Amino acid sequence: MKDKFEMVGKEIEEFSLPNSREENVNIKDFIEKNNVIVALLRSIN
């Protein structure tokens, strides 16, 4: 699959999002432990 936006391997800015339990999760907490894949999906509704 081609990286249309040339984002593979790039560092991203720190951000937080709520998880399914409505707790804020910071991307920094995961990056420090492992590699991270971020998938952004848009709604079809």
Tell me which residue range forms the domain holding 3: 1-45
Computed over every residue of the chain, the mean pLDDT equals 82
Q: What is the pLDDT of residue 19?
A: 86
Give me the number of domains the chain comprises. Answer: 1
| pLDDT, tens digit (0-9, with 9 covering 90-100), for 15-36 | 998 888 999 999 888 887 878 8
Cα angle: 16, vertex 38, 31; to 5 degrees? 65
pLDDT surpasses 80 at 1? no
Cα torsion 4, 45, 43, 26 to 10°: value is 160
